[in-house]
Each structure stands twice: as structure tokens, then as C-alpha cells.
Amino acid sequence: MKLKQLLLCGLLLTPWIAGSTMAEDKVLKMSTTTSTQASGLLDVLLPALEKDTGITVKVVAKGTGAAIRDGIDGNVDAIFVHDLKREEAFVAEGYGSKRYAVMHNDFIIVGPPEDKAGVKTTKDGAAAMKKIAEAQAPFISRGDDSGTHAKEQALWQDSGLPLETMTSTMEKNGKSIAIKSVHPANSKDWYLSVGQGMGKTLTIADEKQGYTLADRGTYIKYKYGREVPINLEILCEGGANLANPYGFIPVNPKKHSHVKGVLAEQMAQWLVSTRGQQVIAGYQLHGKQLFFPDAQP
């Protein structure tokens, strides 16, 4: 090939290479909770983000504990989770640059319509959990170190019941990670820890006609957004101890220099902008709003 032809090819390829590089630079990797994904919100939120900013997000969905560990290890550029205490610790320890309060929904206790444990008579989550334990009614726990699992443990601790500690393991990058959790003592005949995401846990609770703690968004998706809905009803809701706030946190480049801190910050600013908050508020399923904005009225 002649020199002139080589130069011409180089000139033609240069814009394509530059364009490919720019496109790659706009790809953000985010670890988020399975409940955020299972609710269907990301199917609406992320296309709107890409349209407005050009940012494409690669989503890794798992329990909040595992998502936070992804941030600690520098495996992702940002996390979008719902466990306020662990989120604040993540930032305080320098792994996250800042926590952005993005939205909230709430936790609910769901179960069979018959409600043999009599949960429907209370709005207090801990009191409802105590009734389930006293009735020895089947309870299905996510058991996956997620934000929902953390909330469940907090409710057990507030219930006043005798508790015992259980240790389970989670496989991550070929390594076993020990997870300690608490649940009512002497509960092996009615308490089942499944180590699954929210959608699968709801499905198992439906199959066994048992109780479980769920985020409202995923419950609505599985109750009203499927051809074959789950036969579980909301039996306890509205109590102060059932609040469920979500935070977005860019991973701190000072801890991991390779992360796309500028891009993560850009996404954070979009999420808390009027536009991002409107998209969140506008997401509905069968006329039901699943999430409520925290950054804008």
C-alpha cells in the first residue's frame, strides 16, 4: 500500500477511534441492590440518563452488602443501595466521595391473605415480626446481607425476642465471605434463610404461603406487573421503623485511582436534579408510584 493510501486510511480511522474512545469513557459501572433492579425502575431511569448525558451504565445487581464490598474493592465506579448506616460508614472510611439522598420507598411485611399470625392489626414492624415468631408461622428471609436483610435483623432486635446468631457464607471472586446474622432462637421449624434476591424471596414466600419483609417497589412489580401474580398481601406498613431510603455514592478516586469519579459525579448530579427526580417520581406500575424523590420536592 502506498504512503498516500496509508495516510488516507489513518485519517479515516482517527475519528472512529476517537469516537470509540469517547463512547467507552462514558460507560459507568454501578453496583446496586437487586430490589432496585427487580422493581423495574432502572429500565426507565437509565435510558433517560443516557439520553440526557450520554452516560451508559453497566449494572451489577446484588445484595447491598455485596454491592458495598464492590465499592470497597474498587470493582465499580459507584454504588446505589439502601442501608443508611453502612452507606455512611462507607463514606466515613473514605471509600465513597459523598452520599446523595436520591429517593425512598418503604419496607412492608407481606404474607398470605389468611394472616394466621394476626400481623394486620399493627403498623409497627418489630411488633409484627414478634407476632409471626410467636405463631411460628413460616418466615422467608433473604439471608443475603442485603439492605432488606439488614432491616429484618434490626426488626428482630427491636422485637424483644430471644435471638441467636447464624453464620453463612457467600462466594465472591472465588473466595468465601462469612456473613453473620441474627434471627429468633429455636426457629428452625419455621424460619427459612434462602440467600436470594428480593424477587426470588417473594416467589418462595408465595409458594410456601409464608411471610417475608420486602421493599414496596419489588412487591408491586411481582403483585401487579406479572401475568401470574404472587398471592401475598401487604399486612404491615407505614411504621417509622419501615422507612427505606436509597443513596447513590460515587467511589472515591483517592482510594481507587482507576474509577471514573468525574462520570459518577455527573450521574449523581443528574439523579438529584429536577429532571432525574421527575423520572423517579413518574415511574408507576398499574397506577401505583413505587419510589418517592428525596432530593427535590
Q: Is residue 179 part of a domain?
A: yes
Are 204 and 289 contained in the same domain? no
Are 125 and 235 contained in the same domain? yes
Looking at the chain, list the stretches that DSSP marks H as alpha helix, in order from N- to C-terminal side.
3-25, 34-38, 41-53, 64-73, 84-92, 125-135, 147-159, 198-208, 216-224, 261-271, 274-282
At residue 1, does pLDDT exceed 60? Answer: no
Q: Is residue 6 part of a domain?
A: no
Are 74 and 145 contained in the same domain? no
Please say whether the beta carbons of 104 and 295 come within 8 A: no
Looking at 187-260, list the stretches that DSSP marks H as alpha helix, in order from N- to C-terminal side.
198-208, 216-224
For 233-265, the pLDDT digits (tens) are 999 999 989 999 999 999 999 999 999 999 999
For 67-88, the pLDDT digits (tens) are 999 999 999 999 999 999 999 9
Q: Is residue 7 part of a domain?
A: no
Torsion sign (Cα): 120, 199, 292, 260:
positive
Are 222 and 249 contained in the same domain? no
Torsion sign (Cα): 130, 132, 134, 139:
negative
Are 231 and 118 contained in the same domain? yes
Q: Which domain holds residue 67?
A: 24-104+245-293
Please say whether the beta carbons of 58 and 28 come within 8 A: yes
Please say whether the beta carbons of 153 and 177 come within 8 A: no
Residues 6+ apart with CB under 8 A from 224: 285, 286, 288
The confidence score (pLDDT) of residue 177 equals 72
Total domains present in the chain: 2
For 41-62, the pLDDT digits (tens) are 999 999 999 999 999 999 999 9
For 3-45, the pLDDT digits (tens) are 555 455 555 555 544 444 445 689 999 999 988 888 899 999 9
Rounded to the nearest 10°, the torsion over CA 38, 143, 151, 68 is -70
Q: Is residue 130 part of a domain?
A: yes
Q: What CATH number is attached to the domain comprising 128?
A: 3.40.190.10
Are 171 and 198 contained in the same domain? yes
Q: Is residue 13 part of a domain?
A: no
| Cα separation, 253 vs 274, whole angstroms | 27
Q: Is residue 229 part of a domain?
A: yes
